[in-house]
Amino acid sequence: MRAKREVPRAPARRYILVIDVGGTHVKFRLGEHGAASKFESGPKLTPRRMVRRLCKLLDEQRYDAVSIGYPGLVYHGRIAADPHNLGKGWVGYDFAAAFSRPVRLINDAAMQAIGSYRGGRMLFIGLGTGLGATLIIDGVVEPTEVGHMPYKRGRTFEDYVGERGRKRLGNHRWRKAVRNVIADLNAAFEADYIVLGGGNARRLKKLPRGAHLGGNNRAFIGGLRLWDPRSGVITSPSADLRRRPD
């Protein structure tokens, strides 16, 4: 009798490279316990330059898969528009081929939101170079582009509470604008709780009612959860990008 052939198991993805792309810095961490590192991004950063810089800094360190938080519109796991604060060439860029690894790509605010989620109906608001907003309802992740929607006086939400808005208004008026925007968004989305993230969240002297600060490492936790079936969150069914055959 012929012995039963064993089907090889897929390797466990224990070493996940998580990349949080921002308008000011690219932050990255390898695995659950790795040290977080960063380098400057800015309006000249293209995806090719970012990958080249990351590969140089990683210096042959092992990783099995990649999670990328992208500061712009992501549709079914693919970049749908170039970012407002970075260089060109992001739409259609083949990250899976560039890294030679499976890649899961998601909006950066959504990745931070996943890392902050603790059930129910949560609204995540990222206050950084721009404005990111993600709603998670019973584990289902819904990124939004509300930051670029018209708000008032011919300006968008992001024009008021993003970094350009803070510089234009000054910290005192910016804080008031943040409180007003959060109240308006919460009235629209009716969240059970609000999590504030992004580098400018720490500039708030008093948090709005029902809101609390997310930790700086939440984006990295979210990137790990993208590969963890036990996380309880549901993202785009087409978020897994694999290297195209040569």
Angle between the N-to-C axes of helices 218-225 and 108-116, in degrees from 0 to 180, rounded to the nearest 10: 90
pLDDT in tens, 141-163: 988 889 989 999 999 999 999 99
Give the mean pLDDT of 50-77: 93
User: Which residue ranges form the domains of the chain, and what is each CATH number?
Assistant: 16-108+236-241 (3.30.420.40), 111-219 (3.30.420.40)
pLDDT band at 126 (very low <50, low <70, confident <90, very high): very high
| % residues pLDDT > 70 (the chain) | 90
Q: What is the pTM of this model?
A: 0.83
Contact 91, 79 (CB under 8 A): yes
All residues at 6 or more sequence positions from 189 whose CB lies less than 8 Å from its CB, including other chains: 121, 123, 135
Question: Could you tell me how many residues make up the chain?
Answer: 246
pLDDT in tens, 90-105: 999 999 999 999 999 9
pLDDT beyond 80 at 219? yes
pLDDT band at 168 (very low <50, low <70, confident <90, very high): very high
pLDDT in tens, 10-58: 445 578 999 999 888 999 999 988 899 999 999 999 999 999 999 999 9
Residue with tokens 């961490």: 29
Contact 178, 204 (CB under 8 A): yes
Extract the tokens encoding 13: 């993805």
| % residues pLDDT > 90 (the chain) | 67
